[in-house]
Structure 1
């Protein structure tokens, strides 16, 4: 196929929503994307570099296909997306923030309106991102479903002044509107959710981050505690009160699974990352999460197509329920939900 022959450079632009086209103003303001001069060709404007990168993130096209679509070389695609992705991740502390003050109270109220579950600051979970096997430590990235992956868990990182993206596991906390309130990208796919959470700042600094009686809700892979409420383990002998608690816990927590589903629907590059650098993979994941939140802010949740649940069971075992304070708090809330 001759470059620019069958696919016009502006054809993808018509497929972008106004909110995605508006990202260029934010990215240009970072001053991290200069005009790119490709030898022997017309300079690639900042606006075009941004569109190329958004197209890359939103589709599964190869570098060659993207180069043909935008009438540039494959090497220019590589350099362009690296530069723009770096600019997008520099916006993390603006678009992915831990709730405080009135926003925190609003989130708790909105979660309560779903099914009466009190005190919820966010829903937490992790998801795997399929990747090409890294050159080093391949076995660490092999998850229990026998494919190589990074794990995304979302949690608070606003307390960090410096953007420092570790990469291998994606953990996430979301609000009632599927917005990420923080992300943690940095553990291999073989690592258990509970271990990732135990090493996260949201756990280590929970006393600073959670209001009195505030907590996250997570599935059985997480350890029960005062700031992490999990379902009762179903041993076949749960009481009606405990079953009711589990039902309302699940229907409230499902928002995080829908958030992951929406993330992967809109940013289809996350279906599989064919890259040699783990650091670059993490940057792409983080940039996609920033854009996810930007679109939610710009379009509003009511304007976004209904997102399916992630559809990936990432639990690799149940955590032990040994925290007495967590047990007492869960029992108390179970009583309130009757």
Structure 2
């Protein structure tokens, strides 16, 4: 605000009123620019996603730095000792937000935030259509609507790059292809933070206004994605050097996500999914060797 006062030659009070007005206007467009997909519409072709035809996108938690009064700092302090809000971000294959829920304290687990988003009594509840699913990392339960990697098997891109090995089992192949597609959510978060500097600097706004600003930046991100692909491509060159699949941190217990029930049917679905994928992979490689 003080920078704007020097640039625009107006009082802080005037700038504050106009800032609040613009922020409110942007947020009024949320329903137009951030919305869950129509499951009946076929998503665009993408090699990374060809194995996951019924996937609508991917989701994860994203920590955004915030400023809070000292008495709140303990609740907002995450495992890396930063003061943040943990935002649930659901994105599509084209790196656009489908659903966002910022506001939870940085000490909250990703699973807990998702559980809140799925509450039946939420006016803006996050709902997964029947027969569809989102890709999630190992911090979430593998249950109906949420397809997670296999535990105790390499599931991060950097592990595959470092090993320079080919998948040897159905679980390894599944996890590799899963991580390649799921990486879209980390790239989206990286691009989003690159674009909007206000997300990277210390804020002097009230925490409620900071959450509104985060929501507004998600709206602006989607607006820009439809119009600035060339600029985004340049920023993504930087993002791809910085993005490193997040390891599952100690304490990020998948079992906390009680909104997603673990079922034998879904467990078998993932295993059969992986086995079928691996069988086709072996046939293809056998033909190449003939």
Which category describes the TM-score, using the shorter chain as reference length?
0.7 to 0.9
TM-score, normalising length from structure 2? 0.78
Alignment match of 2:23 (pick from 82, 85, 103): 85
Q: CA deviation at 1:327?
A: 1.4
The answer to whether the 8 Å contact 1:132/1:273 transfers is: yes
Q: Does 1:94 align with 2:32?
A: yes
Please give the alpha-carbon distance, in whole angstroms, between the structure 2 residues aligned to 1:190 and 1:127.
12
The answer to whether the 8 Å contact 1:143/1:190 transfers is: yes
The answer to whether the 8 Å contact 1:202/1:209 transfers is: no
Alignment match of 1:290 (pick from 219, 225, 239): 219
Deviations 1:247-278 (A, max 9, x none): 00000011111110111011011113413411
Q: Does 1:117 align with 2:117?
A: no
Matches within 5 A, 1:81-160: 81-103=19-41, 105-106=42-43, 110=45, 114-151=49-86
Please give the alpha-carbon distance, in whole angstroms, between the structure 2 residues aligned to 1:71 and 1:233.
58
Deviations 1:39-64 (A, max 9, x none): xxxxxxxxxxxxxxxxxxxxxxxx22
Match of 1:172, SS state, is strand
The answer to whether the 8 Å contact 1:117/1:248 transfers is: no
Q: CA deviation at 1:221?
A: 1.0
Aligned twin of 1:319: 254
Q: CA deviation at 1:78?
A: 2.3
Please give the alpha-carbon distance, in whole angstroms, between the structure 2 residues aligned to 1:268 and 1:134.
22
Q: Which runs of 5+ in 2 are unaligned?
A: 155-166, 256-260, 279-290
Match of 1:123, SS state, is strand
| Larger RCO of the pair (alpha carbons < 8 Å, separation 6+) | 2
Aligned twin of 2:109: 192
Match of 2:35, SS state, is coil
Match of 2:134, SS state, is strand
Aligned twin of 2:199: 270
Please give the alpha-carbon distance, in whole angstroms, between the structure 1 residues aligned to 2:269 and 2:185.
22
Q: CA deviation at 1:189?
A: 0.3
Aligned twin of 2:190: 261
Match of 2:233, SS state, is coil
Q: Does 1:176 align with 2:89?
A: no
Moved more, 132-141 or 217-226: 132-141
Aligned twin of 1:305: 233
The answer to whether the 8 Å contact 1:110/1:176 transfers is: no
Number of residue-to-residue matches in the alignment: 252
Q: Which runs of 5+ in 1 are unaligned?
A: 1-62, 152-169
Please give the alpha-carbon distance, in whole angstroms, between the structure 2 residues aligned to 1:277 and 1:67.
19
Aligned twin of 1:30: none
Matches within 5 A, 1:64-83: 64-83=2-21
Aligned twin of 2:287: none
Aligned twin of 1:240: 169
Deviations 1:111-156 (A, max 9, x none): 56535223111100111111123354321101000011011xxxxx
TM-score, normalising length from structure 1? 0.67
